[in-house]
Amino acid sequence: MSQKVDLYDSAYGNYVSDTYRRVRIETYGEDFGQTSWVTTEESNEIPQLLDLRSNSFVLEVGFGSGGYALHLAEKVGCRLVGLDINALGVRNANELALARGLDSLARFEQCDASKDLPFDDDSFDAVFSNDVLCHLPRRPEVLGEMFRILKPGGRMLFSDALVVGGLLSIEEIATRSSIGFYVYSPPGENERLIERAGFRRIRVTDTTVSASRVAKQWHDAREKNKEKLVAAEGDINFEGLQRFLSCVHTLTGERRLLRYLYFAKKDS
């Protein structure tokens, strides 16, 4: 069985490190502080899918380092709130917002998003979450809260890289789950829960091939920068993360784990 390894604390704690920045650029081609399977193409599509404008008020559930949220605030001019449970990520995001002069547009709060969201009904024009809902228990309630805080006509988007597409061994599940708590879902379950929460006009995009490619590029970029990463993380954690990324690449490449992007609207 795979032991637990740290991805998020090391990524956010070493955000400003040239080595970690180099790994992100070699993985994604662009540096938003990513720790997900979102390609640059998908990052560019999200504002269009959510129809973001300068007067939009947006919620990101699980913002990670805050880099992508700040990119949206800077590019679109929208106001944005980010929620994340990781204290290092929250600190990093607020420091970045202040340093880039975006603190009037974006704020970041520590919050367990699997519980009731700390916002009034009909508060946001859009809500999105990149590869985060799979970390949260109570998915029906989470989607219900996302529906509640959206204004009529609001848009919702999230991705899930843990849709089961084939046979998985206990060792593979343990390795894939080695970086934290995960919920695996059967095909069609997210669509059912999205509709049950009240959303309509559901659109689903299969992004499994992209997730497999990101995992391979991330693994290879880390291997290329092994010496400095080992100095920052230690041998055991480095090798654990390499096994994790190799496992993601294999399972998505063989379509035994699938990644889908879900988009839906709250009726006006």
In a domain, 268, yes or no: no
Instruction: Please tell me the pTM assigned to this model.
Output: 0.95
Integer-rounded Cα radius of gyration of the chain: 18
Give the integer Cα–Cα distance in Å for 205 and 10: 31
Q: What is the DSSP letter of 181?
A: -
- Find the mean pLDDT for residues 242-262: 98
Per-residue pLDDT tens digits for 20-72: 999 999 999 999 999 999 999 999 999 999 999 999 999 999 999 999 999 99
Q: How many CB atoms lie within 10 A of CB 80?
A: 25
Give the integer Cα–Cα distance in Å for 20 and 107: 24
pLDDT confidence tier of residue 261, bands split at 50, 70 and 90 = very high
In a domain, 162, yes or no: yes
Per-residue pLDDT tens digits for 80-139: 999 999 999 999 999 999 999 999 999 999 999 999 999 999 999 999 999 999 999 999
In a domain, 39, yes or no: yes
Domain carrying residue 236:
7-261
- Find the mean pLDDT for residues 211-215: 98
**pLDDT exceeds cutoff 60 at 1:** no
In a domain, 266, yes or no: no
Number of domains comprising the chain: 1
In a domain, 17, yes or no: yes
**pLDDT exceeds cutoff 90 at 3:** no
Instruction: Please report the pLDDT score of residue 2 as a whole number.
Output: 59
Give the integer Cα–Cα distance in Å for 225 and 221: 6
In a domain, 182, yes or no: yes
The enclosing domain of 236 has a CATH number of 3.40.50.150
